């Protein structure tokens, strides 16, 4: 029998889980999540980004202009400079998710 692939939590499922876990009303949990996202987006636009303690950092990076190739015609094309959004996981998050310890990487 084929194994079913697990799906990511939806916003509603996450709100339900947090409301149950914290014994807060769903409306309050929704307001908290919306406020957290608002702060994260606003702060990420700034040069220092937004740090979510224990999880990681949301940052805007700048990509330089570069030359590329059109894959269909193989003609060189200029790719303009642009901003990109990245999320960098914290070490505790990586260790918790991947189960990697610092000794496994050869560090003491």
Residue spans per domain, the chain? 9-45
pLDDT in tens, 17-50: 999 999 999 999 999 999 999 999 999 988 889 9
Separation CA 30–CA 19 (nearest Å)? 9
pLDDT in tens, 57-90: 999 999 999 999 999 999 999 999 999 999 999 9
**Closest Cα partner for 91 from 80, 73, 107?**
107
Full-model pTM: 0.69
Q: pLDDT at residue 102 above 90?
A: no
């Amino acid at each position: 029998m084929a194994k079913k692939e697990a799906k990511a939590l939806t916003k509603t499922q996450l709100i339900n889980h947090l409301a149950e876990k914290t014994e807060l009303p769903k409306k309050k949990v929704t307001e908290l999540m919306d406020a957290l996202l608002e702060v994260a987006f606003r702060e990420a636009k700034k040069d220092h980004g937004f740090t979510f303690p224990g999880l990681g950092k949301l940052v805007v990076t700048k990509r330089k202009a570069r030359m590329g190739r059109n894959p269909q015609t193989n003609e060189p094309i200029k790719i303009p400079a642009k901003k990109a959004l990245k999320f960098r996981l914290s070490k505790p998050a990586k260790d918790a998710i991947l189960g990697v310890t610092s000794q496994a990487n050869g560090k003491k």
